Amino acid sequence: MISTLEKIIFLKGVELFSQLSGEKLAQVSQIAKEVEFDRGKKIFSEGDAGNSLFLIVRGSVDVVKGDRRLVTLGEKECFGEMAILDSEPRSATIVASADVVCLELSREDFYELMADEHEIPQGIIKVLVRRLRNVKT
């Protein structure tokens, strides 16, 4: 179980949230739900409906499309942001490549945060641009 203080320190180190005030980070730490997955567990599948995004606190996940592993994401990175932004199905399958601890944020909570804090949409754009740049053709 991650303490509130640990959550706040973790969130401060996540690019998306690094600009938020301590007060706001404390608020996010209250609404973010801690979830754990054992190594090898499929967290969700390509084509699923998606209503939340995940921040990796510990461990790593593979992003898999068809039978191809696109990338491995590690601590302080997020996944699941695309489906909550465009309401389309999940674009890839996510598999825990180690035991993973994540913080999960619902679409509703994330939209409220984006409305209040303009650094968050900017941060999401940075994440998406970085992923686009790293796409291998």
> What is d(CA 79, CA 49) in angstroms, rounded to the nearest whole number?
14
Stretch that binds ligand CMP, among 11-19, 23-31, 90-98, 112-120 (CB under 6 A): 90-98
Cβ 129 vs Cβ 121: under 8 Å:
no
Q: In one letter, which amino acid is 71?
A: V
Cβ 79 vs Cβ 54: under 8 Å:
yes
Q: What 3-state DSSP class applies to 58?
A: strand
| Residues 100-119, mask of contacts with ligand CMP (x by CB under 6 A) | --------------------
Would you say 8 or 102 has its CB closer to ligand CMP?
Answer: 102
Cβ 114 vs Cβ 123: under 8 Å:
no
Q: In one letter, which amino acid is 5?
A: L
Minimum CB–partner distance for residue 4 and ligand CMP (Å): 26
> What is d(CA 94, CA 77) in angstroms, rounded to the nearest whole number?
13
Minimum CB–partner distance for residue 34 and ligand CMP (Å): 19
Q: Examine residue 123 and tell whether it contacts ligand CMP (CB under 6 A).
A: no
Minimum CB–partner distance for residue 72 and ligand CMP (Å): 9
The token duo for 58 is 């510990």
Q: Examine residue 55 and tell whether it contacts ligand CMP (CB under 6 A).
A: no
Stretch that binds ligand CMP, among 6-14, 20-28, 31-39, 63-71 (CB under 6 A): 63-71
Binding site for ligand CMP (CB under 6 A): 50, 63, 70-71, 79-83, 90-92, 94, 131, 135
